[in-house]
A = this chain, B = another copy of it.
Amino acid sequence: MSDLPKSVMIFEEGPREGFQIEKGRLSTDDKVRLIDALSETGVKHIQVGSFVDPRRVPSMADVDDIVKRMKIVPGVEYSVLWMNERGLRKALEYPQLSVDGKLRLYPSATFLKMNMGRTPEQHAQKNIEMITLCRNLDVPVTQAALSSAFGCNFQGDISLKLLEELMTDALRLAEGEGVKLEELVIADTMAWATPEAIRRVVGAMQDKFPHLEIRLHLHDTRGMGLANAYAGLTMGVQRFDSCVAGLGGCPFAKHKGASGNICTEDFVLMCEEMGIATGVNLDAMMAASALAEEIVGHPVPGHTAKAGSLNEIRARVTAAA
């Protein structure tokens, strides 16, 4: 347990994951307000939306406007999710966006078929085409992302062997195309992970692919989000996706529960209280969380913005003494 990192890098995905799943239409003004608030929290990476087909994801139809209107704070990296050539070309229209390519890997062939309409072979071909496209457009491909790495609602448990084979194939494919991957995102898309599964999978990936930085994308759908994040920290993981207020969830995963990604301010509190620097101002993130709750118009899963930070209590106790 001595492997806790000294600091972590937080990738804020609230605007993208969060707004994507909200049923009610949110105004572009509100979305920009939240992104601008997040820009002032100290978080260094914000994903602000998706360049995806607005017929499939209507809540992302205004992403051009968002990108044009959001305030760019120096030192903060803004990104937009894209899935195809059209999305990539859109992203490249905006110099304020950080754009890179990723190899998307689907351990669940069933989900790949349902979500993307492809066989594994067709998908590998698509990944090659994506690399070629990125090369032609001077976009670096640095990341592999394992979706539903711990289990899938349509395929069941995912074995470590399958993950390792998929990654070995992906690295071979990347190498064949002259691409050197740097980061491996392990996503618990459908909330199947337990802390021990996190330790097992992260440990195996670190052993087998030591040159890749691990990044965890965790969902709190079964209440284990922070437990899984803590398990990742004990393995030395330093990169975590999270969503302000705990917004989010994947609209295609057919979750019955409402909970989305791990909550940024809860994760920040846990890290900072354990002496792990996040670079995030917790009070500012709690304020952004309150704004997010106001904007979505329903209770959000995050805890800390309601319960208050411990530093706030410490200050009150000290003042009273």
A residues with CB within 8 A of B: 1, 4, 151, 153-157, 191-192, 194-197, 199, 220-227, 229-231, 234, 255-259, 263, 266, 269-270, 273-275, 299, 302-304, 306-308, 310, 313-314, 317-318
- Chain B, Cβ-Cβ closest to A4: B196
Residues of chain B contacted by A314 (CB below 8 angstroms):
156-157
Task: List the number of copies, as a whole number.
Answer: 2
Question: What would 12 A/B residue contacts be, using CB atoms closer than 8 Å?
Answer: A1-B234, A156-B314, A194-B270, A196-B275, A222-B269, A223-B270, A224-B269, A227-B230, A230-B231, A256-B307, A257-B308, A259-B303
A151 to B269, CA, bound (A): 15
- B155–A266 contact, CB under 8 A? no
The CA-CA distance from A227 to B226 in the complex, in Å, is 6
- Which residues from B are CB-within-8-Å of A273? 194, 197
Nearest B residue to A192, CB-CB = B310
Minimum distance in angstroms from A277 CB to a CB of chain B: 14
> Judging by beta carbons under 8 Å apart, are A317 and B227 in contact?
no
The chain B residue sitting closest to A266, CB to CB, is B223
| With A256-B308, A270-B194 as contacts: A222 and B156 at CB distance below 8 Å | no
* Contact call B257/A306, Cβ cutoff below 8 A: yes
**Which residues of B sit under 8 angstroms from A157, Cβ to Cβ?**
314
